[in-house]
């Protein structure tokens, strides 16, 4: 596809390419180009000590960008890549300080999206093959899960040579699971669609590990937040936005923003629903959280962060 070849060329020339993944859209740059990477930080208003995730196209590429990779990390990669899982590994000397915020570790993932994978393939032919990409939103705000969100939020900050690729709605809708693979046993730094149950199918998790030992910007208390105040599991009043599974009735006078029929659908559209609340200039959104394990854990994690201001 011409558009993808052009996007790879744009990356090679030091421009930015926002692209779809199965989790959320990313704002991408050549991982080896310090100027391009610095533009990501300034466009997002992101503090430079918040490291970026490196996206690669194939498992064998891992060996270029990470060292001392434990066997269990390879097992996880073989089972869940391409997919919504980021592995934190010791970085190789090809990964520069401007990517990791000077930490000696790097987050790496292979996204499971046709457009992202073709872009990574093309970029491997003509360039470094590694694309660093945070979610394509302003720091602290709601991640974009479709082309229109990225366009609305970032187009005024992008130049004519930067691109936004359209891949429709992201299938999963929540950011990848981040797994620290720098110790004898792995631990989860950010929950996502690769749940602890799925990780345990491959390797036992270290449950004693303290979360947030490494800097994870998503682990800031207030994050993923719309302008509207997000309130969890409380009674909605007239004029409030309201999001809950379809079996939960809408309280009188509340404005129903979505009625997902299961947790997958809830997660897939939650960021779009929160954006809807802002478009409607609502002051409050009440969300009735789904119970249970798996993806519901990740969804509740993001809702908790969206609700703390
Ligand atoms: O699903 C995703 O992961 C999306 C798509 C675009 O791939 N990306 C994403 O990137 O969510 P971002 O920058 O919004 O969140 C990446 C998180 C940040 O919280 C960052 O601090 C953490 O990953 N991270 C990156 N490198 C790390 C490292 N070496 N150690 C610990 N955390 C790291
Ligand atoms: Mg983000």
pTM of the shown model: 0.95
Per-residue pLDDT band at 221 (split at 50, 70, 90): low
> What angle do helix axes 295-307 and 263-279 make, rounded to 10 degrees?
20
pLDDT digits 0-9 by tens, 127-170 = 999 999 999 999 989 999 999 999 999 999 999 999 999 999 99
Q: What is the pLDDT of residue 214?
A: 45
pLDDT surpassing 60 at residue 212: no
pLDDT surpassing 80 at residue 51: yes
Q: Which protein residue has the closest C-alpha to ligand 1 atom 7?
A: 26
Average pLDDT, the chain: 95
Average pLDDT over every residue of 64-87: 98
Q: What tokens appear for 210 in the block? A: 């303290």
Per-residue pLDDT band at 24 (split at 50, 70, 90): very high
pLDDT surpassing 90 at residue 215: no
Q: What is the pLDDT of residue 224?
A: 81
Q: Which atom of ligand 1 is nearest to the CA of 175?
A: 1
What is the distance between the alpha carbons of residues 37 and 7, in angstroms, rounded to a whole number?
16
CB 223 within 8 A of CB 209: no
Q: What is the pLDDT of residue 140?
A: 87
Q: Over pLDDT 90: what percentage of the chain?
A: 91
Query: Phi and psi of 105, rounded to 5°?
Result: -120, 160
Q: What tokens appear for 160 in the block? A: 């004519």
What is the distance between the alpha carbons of residues 68 and 77, in angstroms, rounded to a whole number?
15
What is the distance between the alpha carbons of residues 263 and 69, in angstroms, rounded to a whole number?
34
Average pLDDT over every residue of 205-229: 68
Q: How far is the CA of 204 from the centre of ligand 1 (A)?
A: 23
Give the closest ligand to the alpha carbon of residue 18: 1
> What angle do helix axes 147-154 and 263-279 make, rounded to 10 degrees?
30
Q: What tokens appear for 75 in the block? A: 């097992």
pLDDT surpassing 80 at residue 222: no
Q: What tokens appear for 298 in the block? A: 């990740």
Residue holding tokens 């466009």? 43
Q: Which residues surround ligand 2, an ion (CB under 5 A)?
A: 135
Q: Which of 153, 182, 54, 155 is nearest to 107 (CA)?
A: 54
Q: What is the pLDDT of residue 220?
A: 54
Q: How far is the CA of 78 from the centre of ligand 2 (A)?
A: 25
CB 93 within 8 A of CB 68: no
> What angle do helix axes 114-126 and 2-12 make, rounded to 10 degrees?
50
User: Over 51-81, what HEC string results?
Assistant: CCEEECCCHHHHHHHEECCCHHHHHHHHHHC
End-to-end CA distance of the chain: 43
Average pLDDT over every residue of 194-203: 96
Ligand 1 pocket, Cβ-based, cut-off 6 angstroms: 21, 23-24, 26, 50-53, 86, 88, 100, 103, 105-107, 111, 133-135, 175-176, 178, 189, 214-218
Determine if the peptide bond prior to 82 is cis (ω within 30°).
yes
Q: Which of 131, 106, 120, 179 is nearest to 26 (CA)?
A: 131
Q: What tokens appear for 30 in the block? A: 């050549």
Per-residue pLDDT band at 7 (split at 50, 70, 90): very high
SS3 category, 233: coil
Q: What is the pLDDT of residue 218?
A: 54
Q: What tokens appear for 136 in the block? A: 């394509």
Higher per-residue pLDDT: 218 or 224: 224
Q: What tokens appear for 48 in the block? A: 């430079």
Determine if the peptide bond prior to 201 is cis (ω within 30°).
no
pLDDT digits 0-9 by tens, 251-290 = 999 999 999 999 999 999 999 999 999 999 999 999 999 9
Q: What tokens appear for 301 in the block? A: 């994690």
Average pLDDT over every residue of 86-103: 97
pLDDT surpassing 80 at residue 211: no
Residue holding tokens 């629903």? 273
Q: What is the pLDDT of residue 195?
A: 97
Q: What is the pLDDT of residue 134?
A: 98
Average pLDDT over every residue of 289-295: 97
Q: What is the DSSP annotation of 222-271?
A: S-S--SSEEEESS---TT-EEE--TTSPPPTT-EEEE--SSHHHHHHHHH
């Amino acid at each position: 596809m011409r558009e993808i070849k052009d996007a790879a060329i744009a990356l090679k020339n030091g421009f930015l390419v926002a692209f779809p993944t199965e989790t959320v859209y990313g704002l991408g740059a050549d991982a080896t180009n310090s100027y391009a990477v610095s533009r990501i930080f300034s466009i997002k208003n992101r503090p430079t000590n918040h490291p970026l995730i490196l996206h690669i196209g194939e498992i064998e590429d891992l060996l270029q960008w990470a060292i001392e990779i434990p066997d269990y990390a390879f097992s996880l990669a073989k089972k869940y890549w391409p997919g919504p899982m980021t592995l934190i590994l010791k970085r190789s000397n090809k990964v520069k300080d401007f990517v990791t915020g000077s930490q000696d570790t790097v987050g790496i993932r292979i996204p499971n999206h046709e457009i992202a994978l073709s872009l990574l393939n093309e970029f491997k032919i003509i360039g470094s093959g590694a694309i660093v990409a945070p979610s394509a939103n302003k720091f602290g705000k709601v991640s974009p899960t479709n082309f229109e969100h990225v366009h609305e939020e970032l187009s005024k900050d992008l130049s004519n040579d930067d691109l936004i690729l359209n891949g429709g709605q992201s299938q999963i809708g929540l950011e990848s699971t981040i797994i620290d693979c720098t110790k004898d046993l792995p631990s989860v730094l950010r929950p996502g669609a690769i749940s602890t149950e799925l990780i345990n199918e491959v390797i036992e998790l270290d449950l004693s590990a303290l979360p947030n030992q490494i800097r994870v910007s998503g682990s800031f208390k207030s994050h993923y937040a719309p302008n509207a105040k997000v309130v969890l599991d409380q009674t909605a009043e007239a004029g409030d936005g309201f999001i809950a599974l379809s079996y939960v009735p809408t309280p009188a006078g509340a404005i129903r923003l979505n009625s997902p029929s299961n947790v997958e659908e809830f997660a897939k559209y939650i960021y779009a629903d929160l954006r809807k609340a802002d478009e409607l200039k609502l002051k409050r959104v009440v969300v009735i959280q789904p119970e249970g394990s798996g993806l519901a854990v990740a969804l509740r994690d993001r809702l908790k962060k969206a609700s703390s201001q």
